[in-house]
Amino acid sequence: MRIATIGLVTTLATLAACGPQATYKDSRGDDLVVSLDQPNIQDFNLAADKMVQSMMVSGVLNNAPRKPAVLGISRIVNDTSSQFDTDQLTKKIRIALLNTGKIEVTNTIGLDGKPEDPMAKGVQDMKDFESGRSNKTPDLPDYTLTAKILENRTSAGNVKQVSYIFQLSLTDTRSGRGVWEGEETITKQGAKNSVGF
Amino acid sequence: MRRCILPLALVSALTACNTSNTVVPMGSGPGQPGFQQVLTNGWLNSKSNVTDVRQDVVSGDMKRVQVSVYSDQLTSQNFSYRFEWFDASGMRMQGAGEAWQSRTIKPKETIQLTTVAPSPKATQWQLKLLDTNHPLDQ
């Protein structure tokens, strides 16, 4: 009896010490690692979802000069202590906006005159040259999108709290005025990183 | 040995109870369409009981949904939820609103969960609710 119990406890302890094996997870699931030292993929998912929904609810794109309106991606600033590619946020927003059918994103006009897709820009210029329209005004965006990601940290005892603040602004290029702004704050609290909500 | 098996069996049986509840609207038009709940988790339902569903249209052609959720518990509770969208053919659509979200609900409180369709083609939806602090997880 005692030997069987000791054997069971030893086996369980050994298994626990090994830790779980690596497995694939649903990237939008509820059992992903939650970190207190950096934004997680679910934070970007949630922020992008909320932002796009807020933009749709505002109805701002109903006033666009054409449908679908053309969007240019402007400056995206990561002002947190973590290093990450801001495309983790902007790409999700772009995909979601494209899915609404209300916006198309220009890849031939970019920040500081650098197109996101240089080949598309070259082909566009070549086509314009061949058709004798090389002096035509390029297809300028109707709106531009800027974003900033901020971080706020605090703690009480051994409980740490971190907030990631996602700020987005949509500017109408006809007036230069901001026509929609969104802010989404995602707060995480705990003593250490964990798995799931 | 028999003494070990009983607690292990009890733990595994109770852990298996952490299943999701699903809410499906009875109609697709704006207003209060009525709804149907598929309940597989009574504990979860006691802290996230859907009492009301509303639908309207934003931005011209995008469906918006608001679901009221009531907690009958005497302490603050957490649960997570996700809206899933489908097109007119019933095919699942990926996009905004697909991420699981966690919410805290206070005792005897009613809160609203809101979402907007990812596309004008998204006409049908369902809401999935999942427990995030099952008593055994505490």
Q: Which among B59, B82, B102 is the nearest to A56, CB-wise?
A: B59
Q: Please tell me which residue of chain B has the smallest CA distance to A188.
A: B102
Instruction: Give the angle A55-B51-B102 at the CA atoms, nearest 5°.
Output: 50
CA distance A101 to A55: 13
Is A94 in a helix, a strand, or coil? Answer: helix
- Cβ partners under 8 Å of residue A80, min gap 6: A39, A149, A150, A151, A164
CA distance A117 to A43: 28
| Residue A5 to residue B1, Cβ atoms within 8 A | yes
Residue A27 tokens read as: 């990237």
Q: How many helices (H) and strands (E) does chain B have?
A: 2, 9
CA distance B120 to B124: 11
Alpha carbon of B38: minimum distance to chain A alpha carbons (Å):
20
pLDDT tens figures, B83-126 = 999 999 999 987 666 788 889 999 999 999 999 999 999 999 99
**Residue A41 at interface with chain B, using a CB cutoff of 8 Å:** no
Q: Which among B78, B95, B96 is the nearest to A197, CB-wise?
A: B78
Q: With contacts defined as CB-CB under 8 Å, which chain B residues touch A101?
A: 119-120
| Residue A48 to residue B118, Cβ atoms within 8 A | no
| Residue B97 to residue A29, Cβ atoms within 8 A | no
Rounded (10°) CA dihedral A103, A107, A112, A114: 180
pLDDT at A3: 66
- Is omega for the bond preceding A115 within 30 degrees of 0, making it cis? no
pLDDT tens figures, A98-122 = 999 999 999 999 998 899 999 999 9
pLDDT beneath 70, residues of chain A:
1-18, 197
In chain A, what are the domains? 36-106+141-195 (3.40.50.10610)
CB within 8 Å of chain B, chain A residues 56-115: 56-59, 61-62, 95-96, 99-102
pLDDT tens figures, B36-71 = 999 999 999 999 999 999 999 999 999 999 999 999
pLDDT at A31: 83
Alpha carbon of B36: minimum distance to chain A alpha carbons (Å):
24
Once rounded to an integer, what is the mean pLDDT over residues B18-44?
89
Alpha carbon of B66: minimum distance to chain A alpha carbons (Å):
13
CA distance A22 to B4: 29
Residue B7 tokens read as: 């607690």
pLDDT band at B12 (very low <50, low <70, confident <90, very high): very low
Strand pairing class (B124-131; B35-38):
unpaired
CA distance B32 to A120: 48
pLDDT band at B138 (very low <50, low <70, confident <90, very high): very low
**Residue A48 at interface with chain B, using a CB cutoff of 8 Å:** yes
In chain B, what are the domains? 19-137 (2.60.40.3230)
- Cβ partners under 8 Å of residue A189, min gap 6: A36, A159, A160, A161, A162
Q: With contacts defined as CB-CB under 8 Å, which chain A residues touch B1?
A: 1, 4-5, 8
Q: Which among A29, A45, A56 is the nearest to B116, CB-wise?
A: A56
| Residue B119 to residue A62, Cβ atoms within 8 A | no
Q: Is A151 left (phi over 0), alpha (psi -120 to 50) or beta?
A: beta
